[in-house]
């Protein structure tokens, strides 16, 4: 999971990491480990200005890198941005410190519906608070999809990409899907009315049959290429992350190329994911780490991060501070009814993971 990382604005995160890695000769520091290019342009600077604590900021680009660093040794980090998908593994390994909710002024401002979803991976919400979150859905070229399927194209449904007669027509203008068995197979299972986190091999046989039937109409599986291809009109449909689709839309608008992109959260339900703030059990600077988490929970701090990255955050008081086009987009800030249809993904037993990997290899190769 967690490939939902921004692949956009590439350079900025690297510059921040370099400029802020120089530790102050004196004074307090906090060591932070976050996804590449996944923070506001001024957040770290403002944190130092407001608290006097110097952030030492490093980045990673895959959940495997993060888990490997946290599970094998004392990492030296205080605060880490971990996917909800990684939380069960990290909790089981004893890598995380429980958060002292009573000492966190903005904890009561976290959205209750989101916290209930997150509790599927962090029972009792003991160890993690949402940083940013999003959904997996369908990004599409409004005009090309209408041309292929007519005015009644089922853009609000997984039928758009999982019904063969629809996908066959859309295949003419290009369809892409994430290269991620842990994200795509649960969606296929859910579409078939099966548990998205199933451990039943027979369920996976059904998902495999569905995807192999669709495979001839899918241009490629890739977790970054679809963003630019959607924005410049090279493809007309992609299954991927909400923020990536909004980035493609914004890029097309800035280019003035006439490509109109929309993002749909299918009515049947879809994966919801969270990137969370956690404090490590062996954090060298736990108090400063907690101060950093507190800071990012503040509405006035996290709203500009949401605006920069096109992802919603967990503080319900921040919503009014988020750009109107983002907060009023029901595909990005779902209604309570839509949120109720969303499901979280779970780590699965090794035997099931092997089944998923084998199926994905077959699907990608079109065997």
The domains located in the chain, with CATH, are 12-134+272-335 (3.40.190.10), 136-271+345-365 (3.40.190.10)
Residue 92: both structure tokens together? 């089981």
User: Torsions phi, psi of 251, nearest 5?
Assistant: -65, -45
The pLDDT of residue 17: 41
Question: Per-residue DSSP letters for 167-179?
Answer: HHHHTTT-EEE-S
Nearest to residue 270, comparing CAs of 148, 212, 186, 347?
186
Nearest to residue 338, comparing CAs of 329, 349, 347?
329
Structure confidence by residue, pLDDT tens digits, 15-71: 444 333 444 445 899 999 999 889 999 999 999 999 999 999 999 988 888 888 988
Structure confidence by residue, pLDDT tens digits, 91-101: 999 999 999 99
Structure confidence by residue, pLDDT tens digits, 306-365: 999 989 999 999 999 999 988 998 888 999 899 999 999 988 999 999 999 999 999 999
Burial class (CB in 10 A: 0-12, 13-18, 19+), 41: middle
The Cα–Cα gap between 342 and 124 comes to 19
């Amino acid at each position: 999971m967690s490939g939902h990382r921004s692949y956009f604005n590439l350079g900025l995160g690297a510059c921040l990491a370099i400029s802020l890695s120089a530790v102050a000769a004196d004074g307090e520091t906090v060591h932070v480990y976050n996804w590449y290019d996944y923070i506001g342009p001024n957040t770290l600077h403002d944190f130092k200005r407001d608290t006097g604590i110097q952030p030492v900021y490093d980045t990673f680009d895959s959940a495997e890198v993060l888990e490997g660093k946290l599970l094998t040794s004392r990492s030296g980090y205080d605060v880490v941005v971990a996917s909800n998908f990684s939380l069960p593994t990290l909790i089981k390994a004893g890598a995380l410190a429980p958060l002292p909710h009573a000492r966190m002024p903005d904890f009561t401002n976290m959205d209750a519906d989101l916290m209930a979803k997150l509790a599927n991976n962090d029972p009792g919400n003991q160890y993690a608070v949402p940083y940013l979150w999003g959904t997996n859905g369908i990004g599409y070229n409004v005009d090309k999809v209408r041309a292929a399927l007519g005015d009644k194209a089922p853009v609000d449904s997984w039928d758009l990409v999982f019904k063969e007669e629809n996908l066959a027509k859309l295949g003419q203008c290009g369809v892409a899907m994430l290269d991620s068995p842990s994200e795509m197979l649960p969606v296929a299972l859910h579409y078939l009315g099966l548990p998205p986190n199933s451990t039943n091999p027979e369920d996976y046989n059904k998902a495999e049959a569905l995807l192999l039937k669709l495979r001839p109409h899918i241009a490629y599986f890739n977790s970054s290429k679809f963003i630019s291809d959607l924005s410049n009109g090279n493809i007309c449909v992609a299954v991927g992350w909400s923020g990536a689709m909004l980035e493609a839309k914004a890029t097309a608008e800035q280019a003035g190329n006439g490509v109109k992109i929309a993002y749909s959260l299918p009515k049947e339900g879809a994966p919801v994911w969270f990137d969370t703030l956690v404090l490590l059990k062996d954090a060298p600077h736990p108090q400063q780490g907690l101060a950093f988490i507190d800071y990012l929970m503040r509405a006035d701090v996290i709203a500009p991060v949401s605006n920069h990255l096109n992802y919603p955050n967990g503080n319900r008081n921040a919503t009014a501070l988020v750009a109107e086009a983002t907060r009023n987009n029901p595909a990005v800030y779902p209604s309570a009814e839509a949120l109720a249809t969303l499901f979280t993904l779970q780590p699965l037993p090794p035997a099931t993971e092997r089944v998923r990997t084998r199926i994905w290899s077959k699907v990608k190769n079109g065997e």
